């Protein structure tokens, strides 16, 4: 009996000295257990922190620095079950910043239905930063929803959103904390992805704040391949965690155009931010168009340059500037996530964001490429951004004209200058904003003219007679 008691005490001390799942197991000044339970591996995160992860996990915790570590980084591609077309939805940040709660999210979901946005194709209701407690659960290491803001938890909220036939998104960060100082997911990718899957999350916006120095990129990565940069590997870790879940989650990489993300974003996620946060200004709209134009080759089905959330309904943009804002996101096939209190949208603003013909180009299931600039006529001036764009859809060839001038101006283009139309034949033009045909037909050699208001965008579909 004495021997048995000693054995029991010995076994108990071994178990007690082991760190639990996702618990800390090492790091500078750490005096706790350094051994994980069976099936879990003590994995270094940095010099100050090591964590117990599933032994079978492919998620890399150590910072990069050697070719062998980079070779071990996950290479999982994003799910092909979601994200084929650019997302259509709403995000809470531009409207509410950190003043977010369950009631506002449910209101947005109901407005999708009542305002006809769901019928127009919008489906994602996405929560941005500030939704959780400031600390993870001490035992499970899970992120905990703020019970005051979300009394029914995120899972209860997700159930309500799903009951309306919509999808729900969440926010986290590929650093130690979010931009607002809430728990980040760097080092917790597996547990967070599992948690979101259990809650019923359909979309993840993954930000880029509070990145430890050893996880950032101070120079071009060895070999010049940004897919193997520290930044890309941080996001690749979350890709691996997401694709391991039973239900697909659309993955939005919010890396602000850093680390040449357009070169590797399509191998890691479904969309990637091209810049810092948007603002409701004409200068932001024109600058982000120029940024996107430099990387149009990166856009295809399942891979989209993200020009950030919509500012329609915010600030002092004119209605013409809001039309251009929407049209540019459409013809460059950026995700379109509304970012305002939708109860305040006017009829004119709703008409813009619900335009079925522009949304049809954006969501075309047969053509995944965006429109691109073209020279409208031989003596057309150079502007920044370019004013004339053409693209194709399953319904024909399209021309979009931005008036970058501060005055109403007559714009024109020669039909034979439009890529793909050819130099012969007759054509009919259709106004995509009004949904009506332009009277008459035009020969390939003809020039079409239209008066465009300051900072407005005209949109046409051209078909051969």
Tell me 341's DSSP state.
Answer: -
306 is annotated as an active-site residue = no
Treating both helix axes as pointing N-terminal to C-terminal, what angle do 230-243 and 189-199 enclose, rounded to 10 degrees? 40
C-alpha separations of 352 from 1, 16, 278 in Å: 82, 62, 19
Treating both helix axes as pointing N-terminal to C-terminal, what angle do 282-293 and 319-331 enclose, rounded to 10 degrees? 20
Q: To which H or E segment does residue 156 belong?
A: helix 153-163
Treating both helix axes as pointing N-terminal to C-terminal, what angle do 153-163 and 189-199 enclose, rounded to 10 degrees? 50
Q: Single out the catalytic residue among 202, 207, 306, 308.
A: 207
Rounded distance, CA 9 to CA 3, Å?
A: 10
Q: Single out the catalytic residue among 67, 99, 277, 437.
A: 277
What phi and psi values does residue 381 have, to the nearest 5 degrees?
-75, 160
173 is annotated as an active-site residue = no
Question: In 3D, which of 197, 226, 247 has the Cα closest to residue 79?
Answer: 247
> Dihedral sign, CA of 105, 182, 252, 94?
positive
Q: Identify whether the C-beta of residue 134 lies closer than 8 Å to the C-beta of residue 182.
A: yes
* C-alpha 235, offset from chain centre: 13
Q: Identify whether the C-beta of residue 124 lies closer than 8 Å to the C-beta of residue 166.
A: yes
Token code pair at residue 358: 């522009």
Catalytic center residues: 207, 277
């Amino acid at each position: 009996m004495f021997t048995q008691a000693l054995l029991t005490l010995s076994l108990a001390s071994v178990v007690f000295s082991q760190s639990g799942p996702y618990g800390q197991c090492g790091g500078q000044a750490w005096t706790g257990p350094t051994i994980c339970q069976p099936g879990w591996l003590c994995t270094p995160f940095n010099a100050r922190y090591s964590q117990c992860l599933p032994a079978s996990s492919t998620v890399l915790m150590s910072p990069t620095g050697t070719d062998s570590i980079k070779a071990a980084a996950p290479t999982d591609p994003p799910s092909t079950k979601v994200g084929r077309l650019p997302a259509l939805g709403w995000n809470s940040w531009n409207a509410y910043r950190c003043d977010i709660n369950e009631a506002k999210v449910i209101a947005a979901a109901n407005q999708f239905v009542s305002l006809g946005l769901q019928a127009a194709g919008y489906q994602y209701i996405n929560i941005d930063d500030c939704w959780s407690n400031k600390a993870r659960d001490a035992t499970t290491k899970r992120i905990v929803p703020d019970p005051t803001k979300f009394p029914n938890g995120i899972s209860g909220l997700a159930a309500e959103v799903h009951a309306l036939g919509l999808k729900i998104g969440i926010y986290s960060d590929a650093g130690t904390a979010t931009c607002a100082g809430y728990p980040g997911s760097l080092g917790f990718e597996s547990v967070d992805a599992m948690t979101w899957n259990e809650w019923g999350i359909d979309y993840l916006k993954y930000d880029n704040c509070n990145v430890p120095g050893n996880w950032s990129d101070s120079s071009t990565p060895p070999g010049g391949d940004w897919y193997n940069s520290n930044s890309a590997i941080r996001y690749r870790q979350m890709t691996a965690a997401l694709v391991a879940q039973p239900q697909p989650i659309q993955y939005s990489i919010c890396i602000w155009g850093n680390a040449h993300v357009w070169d590797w974003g399509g191998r890691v996620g479904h969309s990637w931010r091209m810049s810092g946060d948007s603002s409701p200004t004409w200068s932001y709209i024109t600058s982000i168009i120029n940024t996107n134009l430099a990387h149009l080759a990166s856009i295809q089905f399942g891979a989209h340059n993200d020009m950030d959330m919509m500012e329609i309904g915010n600030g002092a943009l004119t209605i013409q500037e809001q039309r251009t804002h929407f049209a540019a996101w459409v013809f460059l096939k950026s995700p379109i996530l509304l970012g305002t209190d939708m109860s305040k949208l006017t009829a004119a603003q709703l008409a813009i964001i619900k335009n079925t013909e522009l949304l049809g180009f954006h969501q075309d299931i047969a053509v995944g490429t965006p429109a691109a600039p073209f020279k409208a006529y031989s003596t057309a001036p150079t502007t920044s951004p370019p004013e004339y764009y053409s693209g194709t859809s399953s319904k024909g060839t399209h021309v979009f004209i931005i008036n970058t001038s501060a005055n109403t101006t007559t714009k024109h283009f020669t039909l034979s200058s439009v890529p793909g139309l050819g130099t012969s034949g007759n054509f009919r033009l259709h106004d995509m904003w009004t949904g009506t045909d332009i009277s008459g037909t035009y020969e390939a050699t003809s020039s079409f003219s239209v008066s465009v208001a300051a900072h407005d965008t005209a949109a046409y579909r051209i078909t051969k007679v």
